Amino acid sequence: MLTKNNNKRVLNFDPCGILIVDKEKGLTSHDVVKRVRSHFKLKKVGHAGTLDPNATGVLVLLIGKATKQSANFLNKEKEYFATVKLGERTDSCDCDGQIIEKKDVTVTEEEVKQVILSFIGESEQIPPMVSAKKIAGKRLYSLARKGIEVERKSRTIVISDIEISEISLPIVKFRCACSKGTYIRQLADDIGKELGCGAHLTDLKRLRSGAFTIEQAIFLTELLKMERKDFYESLLRV
């Protein structure tokens, strides 16, 4: 929309829509929201599902009035590509944590396949302590940083598909499609427990969130080079 201001035509920049970002490692989801909001001087920016700092891939940003529709996107199925290392457990279930247990990896590739594929379907999962889940109003990761561990209730998750792409022990790589609230870090830890040798997540990339895919995503570094007009044109309309 164009408005007049001191006899000059000025763009009234108040966009509304969805932006798919390919989040880079080292940034929190809030970091991405903050940078986009600040760079383009936007009033409202939110996201539809957190990604861990060391995870990469699809982060759905909601711009302007689209933030009111976040509930419509949070419950959608997600798809990830995970890399897991067998033989080591960590206190965070991923490579950010401290190693708490080491064991020799004596399982066969066939045993690894059978255990991983056994997680397809509905199951109960206990959220890891290092997570953004709230208990009694406090984030679990905040308690974990203080060395406090609290009891967490399990919740039902659904893994609709797992496709193993590589087994090069102790490294395993697979694609996983799952319901909202599934922790892939915890899945890696649970796989390690079933195999009896321990495991942790070393790398994670979100390939899809609902209908939004990695092919639609824009790197944040490229996004922040855009002019406002190009940014506006890159939005998916709600």
What are the residue numbers of the active site? 52
Taking alpha carbons only, the member of 162, 155, 97, 159 closest to residue 127 is 155
Q: Residue length, the chain? A: 238
Q: Map residue 220 onto helix, strand or coil.
A: helix
Residue 88 contacts residue 198 (beta carbons within 8 Å):
yes
Q: Map residue 134 onto helix, strand or coil.
A: strand
In the chain, where do the E strands start and end? 2-5, 8-11, 17-23, 45-47, 56-63, 78-86, 88-90, 99-102, 121-125, 134-135, 138-139, 155-168, 171-178, 199-209, 212-213, 218-219
CA distance linking residue 111 with residue 109, whole number of Å: 5
CA distance linking residue 172 with residue 93, whole number of Å: 15
Q: Map residue 169 onto helix, strand or coil.
A: coil
Residue 86 contacts residue 204 (beta carbons within 8 Å):
no
Residue 236 is classified by DSSP as B
